[in-house]
Amino acid sequence: MNTSPIAFLKGHGTENDFVIVPDPDNTVDLPASLVARLCDRRAGIGGDGVLHVVRSAAHPEARPMADVAEWFMDYRNADGSIAEMCGNGVRVFARYLQRAGLVGEGDLAVATRGGVKRVHIAKAESGGDTGDITVSMGRAVLPGGDVKVSVGSREWPARNVNMGNPHAVAFVDDLEHAGDLLTAPPFSPASAYPDGVNVEFVVDRGPRHVAMRVHERGSGETRSCGTGACAVAVAAARRDGADPAVTGEPVAYTVDLPGGRLVITERPDGSVEMTGPAVIVAEGTIDAEWTAPGQ
């Protein structure tokens, strides 16, 4: 149980928003119930998830990565469940480290449950407050197999893409066909995603330019999903015959999300990079009494 006020910040990446809890020594107790309350948009601070900022050496899951990444992004979904990775979250996590004076512009490594992510904080352009942040998201894994997702009476084939977390990418004629996305769209076969899946619905906007909506497992529909945008770009490249491993050339897709725009680049070696903004909007403290069980 926490007996002292908890420091927090609020930030977002293309309107995928997070409660940030700085906790270098891993002393803040964050049970799932408290995470869910913090993310409650009416009774809490509100967010799509919590970014728990811990030194890798202080967290048992991250200690094996401590030699290469000083900081661990202990990410939690809005319902309190633990997630492997969050692409927009990594950008916001890096922006927090920069704001706190813990890192500067340039390159850094961030430990996540999906492995170590390489991050580049660009220098702010003239007249701007902060530069875009690029995250090396690793390589996409394409498990294959026939997967389908459905909404109501409609059903679509989906591309199975893993970006450190699982995605089902469906190309549709109209984003409205995705429905309200408050609940997880059914998928089949159930064996394809034993731990649930993030589902992306995608339409074309132009050459190498798509738009998407997403249901994130554990959070519902969100304004943006970084790993989802990466999965969408990878799936679109395969659909369009632009696999960089085959062409030998990098391929970039512009991905429009309800909360903004990301640029996803896949390189011939299979590495995927995501570039976009990250903003810190507020900071304060959470009353210790409010965090007590039963409050």
Domains of the chain, residue spans: 6-132+278-291, 147-275
Active site annotation includes 225: yes
206: left (phi over 0), alpha (psi -120 to 50) or beta: left
On whether 162 is known to bind a ligand per the annotation, the reply is: no
- Report d(CA 51, CA 87) in Å as an integer: 12
Give pLDDT, residue 218: 81
- Report d(CA 270, CA 214) in Å as an integer: 23
On whether 26 is known to bind a ligand per the annotation, the reply is: no
On whether 198 is known to bind a ligand per the annotation, the reply is: yes
Contact criterion met (CB below 8 Å) for 261 and 50: no
Tell me which residue of 216, 255, 256 sits closest to 233, measured CA to CA: 255
On whether 88 is known to bind a ligand per the annotation, the reply is: yes
- Report d(CA 103, CA 107) in Å as an integer: 9
Contact criterion met (CB below 8 Å) for 148 and 187: yes
On whether 238 is known to bind a ligand per the annotation, the reply is: no
2-28 burial code (b ≥16 CB/10 A, e <16): beeebebbbbbbbbbbbbbbbbeebeb
- Report d(CA 205, CA 100) in Å as an integer: 38
Q: Low-confidence residues of the chain, pLDDT below 50?
A: none
User: Among the CATH numbers 3.20.20.70, 3.30.360.10, 2.60.40.420, 3.10.310.10, which is that of 147-275?
Assistant: 3.10.310.10
Give pLDDT, residue 288: 87
CATH topology of domain 6-132+278-291: Diaminopimelate Epimerase; Chain A, domain 1 (3.10.310)
Give pLDDT, residue 83: 86
Instruction: Give pLDDT tens digits for 125-140.
Output: 755 567 899 999 989 9
Give pLDDT, residue 219: 82
* pTM, rounded to two decimals: 0.88
- 132 Cβ neighbours under 8 A, 6+ residues apart: 122, 275, 276, 277
Instruction: To the nearest 10°, report the CA torsion of 24, 110, 20, 55.
Output: -10
- Report d(CA 213, CA 185) in Å as an integer: 12
- Look up tokens 């030699």; give the residue: 67
- Report d(CA 59, CA 111) in Å as an integer: 11
- 70 Cβ neighbours under 8 A, 6+ residues apart: 55, 56, 57, 109
Residue from 21, 69, 133, 225 carrying the catalytic annotation? 225
**Beta-bridge partner residues of 167:** 161, 198
Same fold? 6-132+278-291, 147-275:
yes
- Report d(CA 89, CA 75) in Å as an integer: 8
- Report d(CA 259, CA 241) in Å as an integer: 28
Give pLDDT, residue 128: 58
Residue from 35, 53, 69, 86 carrying the catalytic annotation? 86
On whether 2 is known to bind a ligand per the annotation, the reply is: no
Helix (H), strand (E) at residue 273: strand 271-276
